[in-house]
Structure 1
Amino acid sequence: MPAEQLWLFITITLVLSASPGPVMLACMIDAGRYGIGKSVYTMLGASAGNLALMLLSALGLGLLVEEAEAVFHTIKWIGAAYLVYLGIQLLRAPPLSADMYARNVRSHHLFGKAFMVAVTNPKGLVYFGALFPQFIDINKSMPPQFTLLTVIFLLMDLIWMTVYAVGGHSIMRWLKSPEHQRWFNWISGGALILAGGALAFTKL
């Protein structure tokens, strides 16, 4: 891949990954409630979900979703319902004592939750299916090119997930107050519900 094309892909990915979507929101919330260490599992789960979407796109399912409205809407509604469910769970979550932050949640739960948030976002499948082909030379071997783009995307996305997690972690002292935790849970839960509503009304 020519250097100018590579830098263009990096720039586009860096800008698009910065948007505060459901995955970034999940990283911020989990880091705020459980700390940076636990939020690493959120980041890994989201990365695994994005990797799954990229592999599906490589198999041509990105184009299928873009062309088949029923498939797109099915995935979309599943993702929207899951975000609303997570938001409601957060609204109902009781305040955590200081020594319960890291112990109150299992790592695999954070991983699985983030994986579901990422993999049920049909926009990701369409995004990978539409963007990646623009930077792949069909006259050259496809696997190395696809691997390079995948690694770049995952790294750029991980950088922004870390930024959001650090932002969420920075308010942990403030969250030691039960009253502040209630506010955080309500604001974060409401944001997830709004994100679910926005996803529900997403169009191709």
Structure 2
Amino acid sequence: MSWQTLAFFFATAFVISATPGPNMLLAMSLGLRFGARRAVWGGIGMCVALAVMAALSAFGLGALLSTSVVAFEVVRWAGVAYLTWLGIAAWRAPVEPAGTRDTTAAAGGEGSPARLFLRGLLVAFSNPKALVFMGALFPQFIDAAAPLAPQLGALVATMIVIEFGWIMAYATGGDRLAARLTSASAARGLNRLTGGLMIGAGGLLALARRV
């Protein structure tokens, strides 16, 4: 793989990752509710899931989902249900006093690294279109005459670095917005904004179609 090809893939992945979708809306909601530092764990979960999905796409499972209506729809609607459930839970979350966001979340377990990692993992896995898309995207940048493994490794590593960067950008934006909201009514609005983002992410996934 040439440097020119890798640079073109970098530019393509950069633009695609920046586009708001379930992963980025989750990142913003985690930043809003738990802060950017805790959102890192959700970001790691999403990136681990994307790496696994990239490996699965290399084995042709992306092509399977793109041709199997039943498999695609089962994964998609399971993801929609999970995102909607997260949104409703965030919408109905109790209002927390200003300055206690991280402490309360950690004490209750909801904002623990393991829970946030699992949430990120499940949200990323719940989007079958990502697997189908990677199965269609990667071959465009692979030289069939060169060894496959090093090329896939370079593409996946590049994609993960870019994705994590955008995840943290969205989470940081959510964190800074939350820091400006200190009143009880603002905190209630924050919960509803967080819930709305997750329900919106479920809506985006509901509109997804096989590529």
Pick the TM interval, shorter chain: over 0.9
Q: 2: distance between equivalents of 1:51 and 1:177?
A: 40
Q: 1: distance between equivalents of 2:96 and 2:177?
A: 14
Any idea what the Cα deviations from partners look like across 1:4-60, whole Å, max 9, x if unmatched? 211111111000000111111111111122222111101101111111211111111
Aligned to 1:41: 41
Q: How does 1:163-182 map to 2 (within 5 A)?
A: 163-182=169-188
Contact map agreement 1:43 1:111 (CA 8 A) in 2: yes
Aligned to 1:120: 126
Aligned to 1:28: 28
Cα RMSD of the aligned pairs, angstroms, is 1.3
SS in 2 for 1:102: helix
Contact map agreement 2:178 2:190 (CA 8 A) in 1: no
Q: 2: distance between equivalents of 1:111 and 1:151?
A: 19
TM-score by length of 1: 0.95
TM-score by length of 2: 0.92
From 127, 148, 158, give the equivalent of 2:154. 148
Aligned to 1:159: 165
Q: 2: distance between equivalents of 1:88 and 1:79?
A: 14
Q: 2: distance between equivalents of 1:175 and 1:92?
A: 18
- Identity of counterpart residues, as a percentage? 36
Aligned to 1:87: 87
User: Alpha-carbon deviation of 1:197?
Assistant: 2.2
The more displaced of 2-11 and 190-199 is 190-199
The more displaced of 190-199 and 5-14 is 190-199
Aligned to 1:108: 114
The more displaced of 91-100 and 144-153 is 91-100
User: Alpha-carbon deviation of 1:99?
Assistant: 4.8
Q: 1: distance between equivalents of 2:183 and 2:30?
A: 17
Aligned to 1:73: 73
The more displaced of 51-60 and 184-193 is 184-193
Query: Would you say 1:96 and 2:102 are equivalent positions?
Result: no
User: Alpha-carbon deviation of 1:80?
Assistant: 0.7
Aligned to 1:132: 138
Contact map agreement 1:52 1:119 (CA 8 A) in 2: no
Any idea what the Cα deviations from partners look like across 1:175-200, whole Å, max 9, x if unmatched? 33221111121122122212212312
User: Alpha-carbon deviation of 1:70?
Assistant: 1.0
Q: Which runs of 5+ in 2 are unaligned?
A: 106-110
Q: Which runs of 5+ in 1 are unaligned?
A: none
The code of the aligned residue for 1:193 comes to I
User: Alpha-carbon deviation of 1:78?
Assistant: 0.8
Any idea what the Cα deviations from partners look like across 1:156-189, whole Å, max 9, x if unmatched? 1111111111111112322332211111211221
Contact map agreement 1:80 1:200 (CA 8 A) in 2: yes
User: Alpha-carbon deviation of 1:2?
Assistant: 1.9
Contact map agreement 1:83 1:192 (CA 8 A) in 2: yes
